[in-house]
Structure 1
Amino acid sequence: MKKQKIIIAILFLSIAINLTSCAPAGYSSNEYGFFSGILHGFIFVFALIGKLFSLDVGLYAEHNTGFFYWLGFIIGIGGLGGGASSRR
């Protein structure tokens, strides 16, 4: 049983590291759009944890398309936590 918990913890940690590697960092030359906003919304919690440990991780893309990026970002955040609470 203890071995299974260790495997689950290692798996969770590797997933968290992989998700935060997609987080925006710094200024890039390409604009991020709607679908990038959804992805950044999904990984927001992991990026926030990385930011708390003072890693060079951005919470959102600075060079984005504006309204549609933010719309995707909010949908991504809502899909992460808001969808589970409605199943009650």
Structure 2
Amino acid sequence: MLKKHFYITACLLLLLSACAPAQDVNECVNATPYNFLGGLWHGVIAPISFVISLFKEEVAIYAVNNTGGWYDFGFLIGAGVFLGGGSRAAKKRK
């Protein structure tokens, strides 16, 4: 029953996110792009940034102006470290 509610909630959030306003990328770009360490930091603070972004439009979770793959890799590691990195799924169930 819990899985059913999770999937319904996820679908509703996906539908609602389609209504989000788009912002021109040129407005987000500044002189220095974020690199691996910036991605790592943004991954660690992603849950906090998400909650703040619900109330403030100027806050985003992911930096548009980044160096590409290295930023993405850092973001993924940072988010994984904060969210447990899948270690909970690897535990044996009793």
- Interval containing the TM-score (normalised by the shorter chain): 0.5 to 0.7
- In structure 2, the partner of 1:41 is 43
The answer to whether structure 1 residue 79 and structure 2 residue 77 are counterparts is no
- In structure 1, the partner of 2:70 is 68
Who wins on radius of gyration, i.e. which is larger?
2
Gaps of 5+ in 1: 1-25
Distance in structure 2 (CA, Å) of the matches to 1:55 and 1:85: 33
After the TM superposition, which segments of 4 or more aligned residues of structure 1 sit over 6 Å from their partners? none
Count of residue pairs the alignment pairs up:
63
TM-score, length-scaled by structure 2: 0.58
- Taking only the aligned residue pairs, the percentage that are identical comes to 35
Q: Which is helix-richer, 1 or 2? A: 1
RMSD: 1.9
TM-score, length-scaled by structure 1: 0.62
Gaps of 5+ in 2: 1-27
